[in-house]
Chain A
């Protein structure tokens, strides 16, 4: 079947199988930054933003999100133009294997979009649906905190129109 979606600000028509998950659809279409870690909605590696809200893409049937808007890690920043959250995670040493990172960046993005001055507890809760086995979360929390501080000076600039 065919489906229309907006992915990272571009509208796309994709050929999908009715039982396909959004995780599969996105990966099949070159969005490799969406990661598979469990398939049961327990790890957060597959998180994307659906209409701006973080969701586990392994738990969503693509057929159910016709015409909705999706942001993947590829829509947040790039090597040439990284997002402050991505840069601050790098600086904090928050990225070891980096497999959990895309999902965490997206959850942090959603958190900071609604709250640019989060407490440490709010940051912890904001990424609580993500598992990271490498870091112990310490430097991830620090990186998000630093990103929030940096972004509060120019918030508009940091939530570009690509993401919804």
Chain B
């Protein structure tokens, strides 16, 4: 096993004091005492409240809107609908510019495309008045035929959801809205047909993944106001403050300089807050009336009208040689983007690009994908971002193939997966909405992950043993996966740092902490690089006036991309400090080191604070300060192996997850405890989505169970024994050897559990969620149970 990074690339001494340590998350005490402020904790004396009227129809044309009764209600300030706002096409996807998503949305439209599409917004003195006004808006609809089955979206007679001919991408991309096609991707390596022919065994299976809600506990929302210079200030629960500013400027048709976006504490995002669809509405009310405007989404609105995980149908074909090598592999994905195409191209690309390179030795590979519109809730960015969908298929296909030739699944993975020093042509051919970048793997701890996980779960003593406990039978399953670390050549993060007279430092970063702990992790990198404690770093992030740019929190980029910007910036600060210290001490700069808040040399030292004071007040005065930006040419994948033990009641179908083990190579964990927390949260989200979470729709396309009572998340009493194992590797392109950790672990639960269920009862589930009812229905077909009896 490669040993953990000793940071010798950066430091003359090997002694890491802050990085690699589980320092306390810097905002956690204020969060636990209730003082930390979220957007909804900013109150303005004259603030008004926004409520929305939503379409009850999945597909309809608005013939007329009469808002006069609503408008005349006492306390109603303003009302917006398609009749009184400009029609500015945009995408709500909070991505870099030009966005790789189609411009198919407007603020308010006269066509309604799903149940939950917004018809109008009311701005009133109280939320109650706003609600009442909503009920008084009269709308005449012409109901249109709706499209609910995404597998029928490109059929000849399917209803067309975006027939308007001005919708387009800003980038060159395949887009055919006249056939409901949002995006199309195709790449080929070798010759798939030939590869299949040359194989000893071929396989062809279809898997379905379902809708999912991010279910962050803080619902979406925003508050806007005009500052004393009449600039629009937006305090918002966002993962992408700089994209909020840019997109709002576009939709509101005002200059970027007129907007100031502030991200306060955020109550979770998981991709759901990488979407800009509320800020400009509150902003427009504020611009029109001069009053502060607040939107607080209800939970029902979060379920129905925010964003979701895109359902995907994946057809996976593979060809296997007798010796256990995979010779051909293809994924053919059909993705439902719902009513709008936000992230429709890039999530689709990731279905292929984050899964196929794992099996890099197959010489014949292909990926085909199509994203389509339907009259259902909008898909979007969700932790895992397409990879979660494809690993449900790939993870089970690996199990199917290994079983076919009777080889241990662990050995099968080790034989066929990518290794350090190797590459995959997919990296170069398939990026996010465009070509990718060539890269070879410089750190890979997957084999170690497999070994450590297998040991922890007791793989060889449980696999295929059909261990029984009354009517209940046990099974174990596993799956391997990877993700990326940022979008290469696209994602940019920047940092600014300055020094204060007491030896403390302000670190200002555009990077967005949405609860992940990135403020802490980036503070640790700064502290380590300069040579001070985390307490000496004052971190401020995500304020478009006061911090430098960053793309925001997505694509597993923050630690890897923004972290390296911070490291570079802090390194410049350190150089400045040492140069001044050399001047003050008359010592050669090479003989100086920073240690314990002092610059030290053989027989002397100066306090850091004194150095700053000297620079500010005494000689050749200047501010010790630096800034740095970072982009990456590559996107090194974190790797992970997951193992799970389940117990199934052979009479009722009741399934219990007994134990879950996630072994993860995220490079060097800058803060091991926070890294574990990312993994544990991902795993439970993945388990819950695989087993109990489900969007249920009625015949009219309305989600029926839009509350936590009926959309079932796992609670504390439901959790299995969970074990997280960090396998350290040294990623030479990452800050202090780090890669990403935020997403990879959500890809494991669905395939690992499905494989464990097969191990227990011999039934293969091709669609999610795998509910107790579905298991119960399949029990009579279980050969395994027959043999147990």
Contacts and interface: CB of A to CB of B under 8 A. Distances in A.
Interaction A to B: yes
Interface of A: 31-43, 45, 72-74, 76-79, 82, 86-87, 89-102, 105, 121, 123-125, 127-141
B684 interface: yes
Nearest to A33: B34
Contacts of B270: 133
B674 to A, nearest CB: 6
B34 A32 contact: yes
A126 B14 CA distance: 45
Residues of B in contact with A, size category: 35 or more
Interface of B: 22, 24-25, 27-38, 40-41, 214-219, 265-268, 270, 296, 298-299, 514-517, 673-674, 676-677, 680-685, 707-709, 713, 715-717, 719, 722, 724
B34 A133 contact: no
Given A90-B28, A93-B673, A36 B296 contact: yes
A8 to B, nearest CB: 11
A135 B33 contact: no
A97 B24 contact: no
A51 to B, nearest CB: 20
A41 B100 CA distance: 39
Given A42-B709, A82-B32, A95-B31, A133 B24 contact: no
Contact of B707 (A34, A42, A86, A134): A42
Given A95-B32, A96-B677, 6 more contacts: A37-B299, A45-B218, A78-B35, A94-B677, A97-B514, A130-B715
B725 to A, nearest CB: 13
A98 B515 contact: yes
Contacts of B676: 93, 138-139
8 contacts: A35-B38, A38-B299, A43-B708, A73-B34, A93-B24, A95-B31, A96-B268, A99-B216
B22 A93 contact: yes
B628 to A, nearest CB: 27
B29 A91 contact: no
B34 A102 contact: yes
A90 B29 CA distance: 6
Contact of A96 (B30, B681, B715): B681
Nearest to A73: B34
A98 B31 contact: yes
B681 A134 contact: yes
A145 to B, nearest CB: 12
A33 B719 CA distance: 27
B32 A97 contact: no
B516 A105 contact: no
A46 B69 CA distance: 35
Contacts of B41: 32
A103 to B, nearest CB: 9
Contact of B515 (A32, A42, A96): A96
Contact of B34 (A40, A42, A72): A72
Contacts of A87: 29, 32
B40 A36 contact: yes
Contacts of A82: 29, 32-33
A134 B719 CA distance: 14
Given A136-B681, A137-B716, A138-B719, A95 B296 contact: no
Contacts of B40: 36
Contact of B716 (A72, A91, A101, A130): A130
A134 B37 contact: no
A128 B517 CA distance: 25
CB-based closest 3 A-B pairs? A33-B34, A97-B515, A98-B31
Contacts of A38: 299, 707-708
Nearest to A20: B128
A137 B660 CA distance: 14
Given A40-B708, A134-B515, A138-B719, A35 B33 contact: no
Contacts of A121: 717
Contacts of A93: 22, 24-25, 673-674, 676-677
Contacts of A91: 24
A73 B36 CA distance: 12
A79 B516 contact: no
B708 A99 contact: no
A94 B708 CA distance: 22
Contacts of A98: 27-28, 31-32, 36, 265, 267, 515
Nearest to B517: A96
A31 B715 CA distance: 26
A15 to B, nearest CB: 14
Contacts of A130: 715-716
A138 B218 contact: no
